């Protein structure tokens, strides 16, 4: 145990101040009332869905949980099921083979069903575009509230997008 404690103490607290929301990332008007936002702001549950990404976006979503961004410290955590989620964080162009699964996950998600489309692929289909195998952007398959540009977006951009989704206008 001693080396573990020593390492923890030596490392210290690395968490940084989170970024501010950016209303320019909204694609729809804010749908939630202030009272609800206050609650969500302190306890937001996210379900991540990879709808066909190259996995680059996932690398950066993983980084959100590292001590620097300390997502859990902000009261935000990832859930294993869409049934427990307030917000879906969707990456990738929607692969044709994932279209049904994504729609089903969206249906299972309780209100308010916030959706953040991640990355250039999530926003436009990105370099993969649309074809027999790709439905393109996330909004082609389910409604989207906020977009986070980047290929992949940095953890800071992801955090900005998530905080925007739960911010009052």
Partner 1 sequence: MKLLDQDLSFEALNGAVAAYAATADEAGLLAFCSAVKESGGRLVALWGCDERKRGQGFVLNVACGIEKGMAIVSLPLPATDPEYPDLSEIFPAANRLQRAVFDLLGIRARGGDPRPWLRHANWPADFFPLRRDCDASQRFPARNEDYAFVRVEGDGVHEIPVGPIHAGIIEPGHFRFSIVGEKVLRLEQRFGWTHKGIEKRFEQMSLADGYRLAGRVSGDSTVAYAWAYCQAAEALTSTQAPARALWLRALFLERERVANHLGDLGYLGNDAALSFGLSQFMRLKEDWQRLSGALFGHRLMMDAIVPGGVACDLSRDGGEQISSQCDAIEREVLILKNIYDEHAGLQDRFLTTGRLDPALAAELSVCGLVGRASSQAWDLRTQNPVAPYDQLETQIVTHRAGDVAARVAVRFEELIESLRLIRRIVSQLPQGERILPLAAPGADTGMGIGWVEGWRGDVLVALAADPEGNIRRCHCHDPSWLIWPALEHAIMGNIVPDFPLINKSFNLSYSGQDS
Binding site for partner 1 (CB under 8 A): 3-4, 7-8, 11, 14, 48-63, 65-68, 78, 80-82, 92-93, 95-101, 105, 126-134, 151-152, 154
How far from 101 is each of 82, 88, 108, 114, 129, CA to CA, in Å? 11, 13, 11, 17, 20
Give which of ligand SF4, partner 1, none residue 67 binds (C-beta under 5 to 8 Å, depending on kind).
partner 1
Q: How many CB atoms lie within 10 A of CB 92?
A: 28
Residues 125-144 that bind ligand SF4 (CB under 6 A): 126-127
How far from 137 is each of 44, 93, 125, 126, 134, CA to CA, in Å? 25, 5, 4, 8, 9
By rule CB under 6 A, what string of x and - marks binding of each residue 50-89 to ligand SF4?
A: ---xx-xx--------------------------------
Structural contact between residues 116 and 160, judged by C-beta atoms closer than 8 angstroms? no
Residue 65 DSSP label = T
Give which of partner 1, ligand SF4, none residue 78 binds (C-beta under 5 to 8 Å, depending on kind).
partner 1
CB of 165 to ligand SF4, least distance (A): 18
| Per-residue tokens: 48 | 């991540």
CB of 116 to partner 1, least distance (A): 14
* C-beta of 60 vs 145, nearer to partner 1: 60
Residue whose pair of structure tokens reads 């990832």 in the numeric block: 78
Give which of ligand SF4, partner 1, none residue 3 binds (C-beta under 5 to 8 Å, depending on kind).
partner 1
């Amino acid at each position: 145990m001693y080396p573990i404690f020593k390492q923890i103490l030596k490392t210290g607290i690395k968490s940084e101040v989170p970024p501010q929301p950016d209303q320019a990332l909204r694609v729809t008007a804010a749908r939630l009332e202030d009272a609800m936002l206050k609650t969500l702001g302190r306890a937001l549950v996210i379900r991540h869905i990879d709808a066909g990404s190259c996995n680059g976006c996932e690398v950066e979503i993983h980084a959100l949980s590292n001590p620097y961004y300390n997502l859990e410290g902000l009261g935000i955590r990832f859930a294993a099921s869409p049934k427990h989620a307030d917000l879906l964080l969707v990456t990738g162009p929607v692969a044709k083979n994932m279209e049904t699964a994504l729609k089903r996950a969206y249906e299972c998600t309780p209100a308010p069903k916030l959706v953040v489309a991640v990355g250039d692929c999530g926003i436009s289909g990105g370099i993969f575009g649309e074809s027999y195998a790709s439905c393109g952007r996330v909004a082609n398959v389910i409604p989207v509230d906020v977009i986070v540009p980047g290929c992949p977006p940095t953890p800071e951009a992801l955090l900005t997008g998530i905080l925007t989704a739960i911010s009052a206008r």
